[in-house]
Structure 1
Amino acid sequence: MEDSQREQERMIRRHHLEKIELQARIQAMKISVPKNDKKRRKQLLLDVARLEAQMEQKHQQEMEKFRESCPDNSNLDSVTEDLAKMDLENQPPSVLRAQKRRERMAAPQRERPGSVAEVEMELLASFRREEEEKLAAILGSRNLEMKDIPADHHCMYRAIQDQLMFSVTVESLRYHTAMYMRKHVDDFLPFFSDPETGNTYSQDEFLSYCDDIVRCPLWGTQLELRALSHVLQTPIEVIQTESPTLVIGEEYTKKPLTLVYLHYTCNLGEHYNSVKQLEAGAVGGTAPRLF
């Protein structure tokens, strides 16, 4: 029974992570399409619906397979429902959803599904606690701790900005990232594809994406980190719990800039934080900068 519960928790954790990452991808897709481009916006809605339906079908099939293998697991249906509600909370808020949330919070406690809300919040909180504990252990072994960066779609660039010894704006980092990618199309274009057809981006589509890096609060990816490592001629390492530390720009000999990648800290999906030296018995003042 305990093995079954652990397997269930692992599956729920993976489903939750996959949906968070999908919402982050969808948000980036929405940002990249101008609101006045009706044709592309219409296609975007179709793409989003297809991606969400595919993931929902995949997760449902996995849940059904798990249910067949564990017919006596009476908690599965309620936890599955909790997860679905949690995923809704991870989507970018709208006016309508915000209004519904206010109405729900204003309703009498007896009219709200308290047990469901408690379970879903506990589940997400447990994921966050586990991630934070693992990161604290990893960073502590290097005499480091996390430094919070605002979750405003610029977090990757702000974390890089925080690590640099010289003054630079986020706008400048975005501009130079886009310019480097535009000048090295062949190095980056093969990694971009149309979500509907799977076909590689055309050069015009790729250049439009580069323009959006500058014009829009577009989330940064590993490709932008690759470009930044070349722009700064500095290695960039990304510490995370789900996989080994990623090092980008290993060909450079400078001391790496260090970012922390989190899955569960922000409801909208991925987030980057910076790091700082771990204070050791200091009284007052601030921790010295790492770089």
Structure 2
Amino acid sequence: MDVVRTSEELLHKHRKERKELQGKIQFLKKSVTKGDKKKKKEVTEEIIRLELELEKLQNEELLQLEQEVAVCEECTVEDSGTLQPALRVSKAQRRRDKKATREKEREAMIMAQEIQNIHGPRNVEIQKIKQMLKERNLMIQEIPSDGNCLYCAVDDQLKLHGDAGLGIDKLRKMTSQYLKEHRSDFLPFLSNVDTGDLLTDEQYEDYCNEVANTSAWGGEVELRALSHVLKCCIEVMQAMGPSVLVGEEYRDKRQAILTFHRHMYGLGEHYNSVKPYLEEETEDIEGS
């Protein structure tokens, strides 16, 4: 029965240690002054170190206990001469402990990745764009990365400037129709991804249909078509190089501003919208 008591005591000890660590982590997080990126980085690294150390220690203690239990099972014999298997940590508890361990490891990996990203191209790009926007009293309006980012960002800009939003599906169909009606203007800028040759008429038609009916990513060709369809001057801000103006002839009629990100997501390039700058929201925008 000593093993049972030891098991319960160890689990209680581990829960207490994790609770105490959470309290310490909250204290560390609160010690970071808003905007102090150096301190935030140091605290994040310290939190990861503390969590990994506790995880390693508790896993070693659990392993040691299991070994002791195994030994007891082999040699526990009551006075009656019958073999009495010693009780140990239940399978359900082990599953819960393993699940908690995997979750903590996952969180530690995420935090480690965040530290790595601080000086990576993604974060450098985000900070550069945010600074450029701030100088114009603007900030990023995040758009989902689902293949529709260009159309969603443009639609958001329409609504921001008081126009009725047209919706992604309608914008896609309008873009597709404009491309079909102005084949000679856009065909020279499109090529077969496999051969590098210009698209055939059939391939161009398929391309236009994909614009209308799928979540295919939109780029410069679709951006130019949208500017004509909406009679809108679209400014595309980017971290490297000057802003690109598309449909500059419509500047006096309607304007929109997008941000272009080369490194925001692993799947490729991305467009976001913008909105008026709000101080209290800036800490939450890191480009997820």
TM-score for both structures, normalised by structure 1:
0.54
Question: Deviation at 1:129?
Answer: 2.4
Question: Deviation at 1:207?
Answer: 0.9
RMSD: 2.8
| Structure 1 residue aligned with 2:204 | 206
| Structure 2 residue aligned with 1:27 | none
Question: Deviation at 1:269?
Answer: 1.5
| Structure 1 residue aligned with 2:192 | 194
Paired residue type of 2:190: F
TM-score for both structures, normalised by structure 2:
0.55
Give CA deviations for 1:149-199 in whole Å, capped at 9, x if unaligned.
Answer: 111111110000001121211000000000000000000001111223221
Give CA deviations for 1:197-237 in whole Å, capped at 9, x if unaligned.
Answer: 22111111011000001111100001000000000001111
Q: Are the counterparts in 1 of residues 156 and 165 from structure 2 also a CA contact under 8 Å?
A: no
Q: Are the counterparts in 2 of residues 124 and 264 from structure 1 also a CA contact under 8 Å?
A: no
Residues 1:262 and 1:281: Cα distance change in structure 2 (over 3 Å): closer
Q: Are the counterparts in 2 of residues 261 and 272 from structure 1 also a CA contact under 8 Å?
A: yes
Give CA deviations for 1:24-49 in whole Å, capped at 9, x if unaligned.
Answer: xxxxxxxxxxxxxxxxxxxxxxxxxx
Partner Cα distance (1:204, 1:155) in 2: 27
Paired residue type of 1:266: Y
Identity among equivalent positions (%) equals: 36
Residues 1:107 and 1:251: Cα distance change in structure 2 (over 3 Å): closer
In the alignment, does 2:160 pair up with 1:161?
A: no
| Structure 1 residue aligned with 2:176 | 178
| Structure 1 residue aligned with 2:261 | 262
In the alignment, does 2:132 pair up with 1:138?
A: yes
How many residue pairs end up in the alignment? Answer: 174
Unaligned runs of 5+ in 2: 1-98, 282-288
| Structure 1 residue aligned with 2:78 | none
Output aligned runs, 1:1-40, within 5 Å.
none
Question: Deviation at 1:279?
Answer: 3.1
Question: Deviation at 1:108?
Answer: 10
Q: Are the counterparts in 2 of residues 180 and 231 from structure 1 also a CA contact under 8 Å?
A: yes
Partner Cα distance (1:246, 1:130) in 2: 20
| Structure 1 residue aligned with 2:34 | none
Which gives a bigger RCO, structure 1 or 2 (Cα 8 Å, sep 6+)? 1
Unaligned runs of 5+ in 1: 1-102, 283-291
Q: Are the counterparts in 1 of residues 138 and 274 from structure 2 also a CA contact under 8 Å?
A: yes
Output aligned runs, 1:75-114, within 5 Å.
106=102
Partner Cα distance (1:177, 1:163) in 2: 16
Larger Rg over CA atoms: 2
